[in-house]
């Protein structure tokens, strides 16, 4: 079977990855689909109830997919009940936390064992993942496929400093909060998202918190920035970091392993941000270089090519 004629169904949508992959593939005439799943967070009995009802619907749906692509390892049981070859796409929390939890940890391990292919969404996951599945690989997440069609808005060197990450430990919240507090104390306007377990602490140190809003609103927020600070919890680019590169803004983040043109938070975030503020021309150029890099390395066409090559090997 030619992969271009195959019916590929993505199950679940993590950080809009499934939506981005499927949306672009369909725009190119591919027979891909996306089926979202009920939320897996919340009180155990509520989650179990939602999933059992949905699983019943799923069992009654026609089996049209040649291959299933499961986002988030514990969701793999949706593929098991259909007896279809499937890819398990590991996104982070499933490997860092769920793997060690009672019950769901066993489910996660079985998901990794039974999949035809196991893929890590970010490079920092690969070493740990390969201890469980030696043949696991990393495939970079693409940028939202419509984002690159929009031109870069001029950068305002006097714009606010925007923190694009969730205020959680997994994103390096203690370091982010320390940097944000120092920047506010020095008189800079700092804006972040009203999102994450440390959000109230961010507000307390003077960060202006904005709701998540729509994708267009988030893009507008990033475009308003003179400098953007991303997550520093892992050595990888998040979707928010990629969106920052798309709009051509200089980005401070810990993602040197991916080869992206970003400013490393060394010796700390504050120093990196101040260096960009004090050198506006270099900061503007870094943002433009970031846009060029993301077009080449993380564009939707390159992503489709990577995935179709993998799918073809499975379907042969």
Q: What percent of the chain has pLDDT over 70?
A: 100
Per-residue exposure over 102-113, b if at least 16 CB sit within 10 Å of its own CB, e if not: eebeebbbebbe
Dihedral sign for Cα 235, 240, 243, 247, please.
negative
Rounded distance, CA 151 to CA 295, Å?
A: 12
Given a cut of 70, the residues of the chain with pLDDT beneath it are: none
pLDDT of residue 256: 77
pTM of the full structure: 0.81
Which helix H or strand E contains 228, and what residues bound it?
strand 227-229
**CA 12, CA 15: separation in Å to the nearest integer?**
10
CA distance 115 to 140: 19
The predicted pLDDT at position 145 comes to: 79
Instruction: Give the 3-state secondary structure of residue 259.
Output: coil
SS3 54: helix
What pLDDT was estimated at residue 108?
97
The confidence score (pLDDT) of residue 268 equals: 96
For residue 77, the model assigns a pLDDT of: 97
Q: pLDDT of 131-143, one tens digit each? A: 999 999 999 988 8
Nearest to 175, CA basis, from 216, 234, 126? 234
Q: Domains plus CATH for the chain?
A: 3-142+299-315 (3.40.50.2000), 147-297 (3.40.50.2000)
Q: Alpha helices of 11-103 — where are they, by DSSP H?
A: 17-27, 44-60, 77-80, 93-96
State the pLDDT at residue 129.
97
CA–centroid distance for 97 within its chain: 17
- What per-residue confidence (pLDDT) applies to 149? 85
pLDDT of residue 152: 94
pLDDT of residue 34: 98
Please classify residue 34 by burial: count the beta carbons closer than 10 Å to its beta carbon, then call 0-12 exposed, 13-18 middle and 19+ buried. buried
Q: Give the C-alpha separation, 192 to 231, whole Å.
A: 12
**Per-chain mean pLDDT for the chain:** 95
**What is the per-residue pLDDT for 255?**
85
Q: What is the pLDDT of residues 302-316, one digit of tens each?
A: 999 999 999 999 999
Instruction: Please say whether the dihedral angle defined by the alpha carbons of residues 173, 213, 304 and 113, taken in this order, is positive or negative.
Output: positive
């Amino acid at each position: 079977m030619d992969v271009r004629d195959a019916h590929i169904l993505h199950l679940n949508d993590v950080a809009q990855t499934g939506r981005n992959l499927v949306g672009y593939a369909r725009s190119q005439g591919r027979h891909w689909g996306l089926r979202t799943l009920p939320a897996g967070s919340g009180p155990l009995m509520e989650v179990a109830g939602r999933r059992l009802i949905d699983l019943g619907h799923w069992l009654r749906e026609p089996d049209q997919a040649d291959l299933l692509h499961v986002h988030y390892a514990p969701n793999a049981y949706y593929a098991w009940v259909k007896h279809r070859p499937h890819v398990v796409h590991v996104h982070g929390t499933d490997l860092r936390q769920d793997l060690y939890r009672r019950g769901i940890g066993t489910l996660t391990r079985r998901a990794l064992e039974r999949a035809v292919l196991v893929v890590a969404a970010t490079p920092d996951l690969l070493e740990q993942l390969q201890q469980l599945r030696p043949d696991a690989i990393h495939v970079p997440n693409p940028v939202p496929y419509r984002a690159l069609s929009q031109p870069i808005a001029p950068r305002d060197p006097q714009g606010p400093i925007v923190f694009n990450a969730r205020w959680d430990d997994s994103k390096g919240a203690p370091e982010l909060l320390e940097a944000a507090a120092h920047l506010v104390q020095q008189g800079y306007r700092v804006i972040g998202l009203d999102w994450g377990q440390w959000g109230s602490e961010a507000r307390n140190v003077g960060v202006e918190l904005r709701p998540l809003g729509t994708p267009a609103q988030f893009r507008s927020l990033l475009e308003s920035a003179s400098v953007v600070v991303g997550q520093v919890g892992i050595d990888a680019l998040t979707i928010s970091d990629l969106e920052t590169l798309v709009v051509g803004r200089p980005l401070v983040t810990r993602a040197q392993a991916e080869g992206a043109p970003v400013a490393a938070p060394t010796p700390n975030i504050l120093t990196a941000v101040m260096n960009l503020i004090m050198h506006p021309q270099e900061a503007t150029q870094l943002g433009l270089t970031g846009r060029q890099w993301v077009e080449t390395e993380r564009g939707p066409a390159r992503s489709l090519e990577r995935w179709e090559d993998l799918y073809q090997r499975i379907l042969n």
